[in-house]
Amino acid sequence: MKILVVNCGSSSIKFQVYDADGAQTLVKGIVAKIGEDGAYLAKETYGAKFKQETVVLNHRAGFDLMMKTLLNEEEVLRNISEISAVGHRVVHGGDVFTKSVLITEETIRKLEELTPIAPLHNPAILVGIKEAKRILPNIPHVAVFDTTFHQTMPSKAYLYALPYTYYETHKIRKYGFHGTSCRYISQKAAEIMGKSLEELKMVVCHLGNGVTVAAIKGGNSIDTSMGFTPLEGLIMGTRSGDIDPGVIFFLQQHVGLTIDRINDLLNRESGLLGISGVSNDMKEIEKRATSGDKRCKLAIEMFAYRIKKYIGAYAAVMGGINTLVFSAGIGEGSPSIRAMICDGLEFLGIQLEERENRDSRRYERIISTPDSKVQVLVIPVNEEEIIVMDTLAVAGLRSKWAT
């Protein structure tokens, strides 16, 4: 049974065909820079990579190109009818969606109503849903949200101390993102350690271009670093993360920047890129830091320091931790950043096994010493697995893999 997973952004369509019987990805790819110069299609089929520049005027053309590509892959798809369902990754479900849902007219209407709090993401996703339904009209389409996993946060964690009416009227609150990743990681961690989710007090560090650190107690998210938007929290590739909101007033009143300019500054020019002055890419920053670049070294120190602060805070709110997980590009790939984050956290019971940690290959394993009170793990990101599982469950389908 084959499931198509779609992640539609404002200028890209990421896609993946997943074999739900063999539990493996058959092909994954992206149609990128839609409506821009240099649009291209890139894909990977059973490990074989392909990239081609092409003209893609709009999302409709992008979806047609995606479908044509999939049908050209004989070993993946012989006929469009082989696709049993489509799983759509949706960034923002607000507080309206607390679990994955079948996409009906009602779902689409509710998603449209959420557009004011997700102006960058949801309009593109609505276009994606419409186009995917045009191409595949007779099968179930399921929405899987990045926010729903964090809907278990208590109000003391998700409210901002603004006048309460702004929450009531405008729904301004912390939502949190990377929920699909956190859900996958927490389940996988329990499985690897042979424990039940109920007994785990876990901090998940999803360290990619976007960064989330989340507190997960008994399998439920009780706090998370991203907020009303993905800008809150940790230092990211190009996002500042937490800053004093007073800085924004100063930038406007005394530096003369417009609100749009400040938005760009905080989202696209800050973070690792802003501090290092050279790159948003941690691999590159680590390389330069090793050869003596002081600002790259500082960017890494700031990155690790802030994560350490969040781990401490989340350990406090959970009454200690017994599981710490590193995931995504930096979390999986950088032994030195994992070591920097854990350094000094022995008082919490965190004891890294140096030899296990030193391995930068990205595979799931435990990297703490056998007597460490906190089990520290590396778990590669696999959001698709959750999207496929939810799509099967919501669509009422049964595969050999997920029954």
Question: With binding defined as CB under 6 A, does residue 286 bind ligand ADP?
Answer: yes
Which amino acid, residue 361? Answer: R
Please list, in sequence order, all residues whose beta carbon lies within 8 angstroms of the beta carbon of residue 166, skipping any fewer than 6 positions away. Answer: 160, 172
Q: Contact letters (x/-) for ligand ADP, 143-182, by CB under 6 A? A: ----------------------------------------
User: CB–CB of 368/351 below 8 Å?
Assistant: yes
Decide if residue 287 touches ligand ADP (CB under 6 A): no
Nearer to ligand ADP, 327 or 375 (CB): 327
CB of 51 or CB of 68, closer to ligand ADP: 51
**Which of residues 98, 115, 152, 209 is near ligand ADP by CB under 6 A?**
209
Judged by CB under 6 A, which stretch of 104-112, 187-195, 205-213, 263-271 contacts ligand ADP?
205-213
Nearer to ligand ADP, 311 or 337 (CB): 337
Cα atoms in the 13 Å half-sphere on the side-chain side of 54 = 19
* Strand runs labelled E in 33-99: 40-45, 48-53, 83-90
Contacts for 197 with CB less than 8 Å, ≥ 6 apart: 186, 187, 190, 218, 219
Contact with ligand ADP (CB under 6 A) among 22, 23, 360, 398: 360
CA distance 171 to 243: 22
Indicate which single residue of 334, 375, 391, 399 sits in contact with ligand ADP (rule: CB under 6 A). 334
Other Cβ atoms within 10 Å of 363 Cβ, number = 9
Residue choice 235, 282, 352, 377 for contact with ligand ADP (CB under 6 A):
282
Q: Which residue has the tokens 């120190």?
A: 301
Is 146 designated active site? yes
Asked if 329 and 227 touch (Cβ cutoff 8 Å), the reply is no
Q: How far is the CB of 175 from ligand ADP (least distance, A)?
A: 18
Q: Is 379 helix (H, G, I), strand (E, B) or coil?
A: coil
Closer CB to ligand ADP, residue 241 or residue 329?
329
For residues 319 and 161, give the distance between their C-alpha atoms in angstroms, rounded to a whole number: 24
Q: Report the site for ligand ADP in 254-273 (rule: CB under 6 A).
A: none
Helix (H, G, I), strand (E, B) or coil at 117: helix
Closest CA to 11 of 39, 45, 52: 39
Which one from 19, 21, 37, 146 is the annotated catalytic residue? 146
Cβ-closest residue to ligand ADP? 329
Residue 333 near ligand ADP by CB under 6 A: yes
Q: How far is the CB of 142 from ligand ADP (least distance, A)?
A: 22
CB 182 within 8 A of CB 214: yes
CA distance 48 to 5: 19
Residue whose CB is less far from ligand ADP, 274 or 329: 329
Does 24 sit near ligand ADP (CB under 6 A)? no
Q: Which stretch binds ligand ADP (CB under 6 A): 38-46, 79-87, 106-114, 326-334?
A: 326-334
* Sites of contact with ligand ADP (CB under 6 A): 208-210, 237, 281-283, 286, 328-330, 333-334, 360
List, by residue number, the catalytic residues.
146
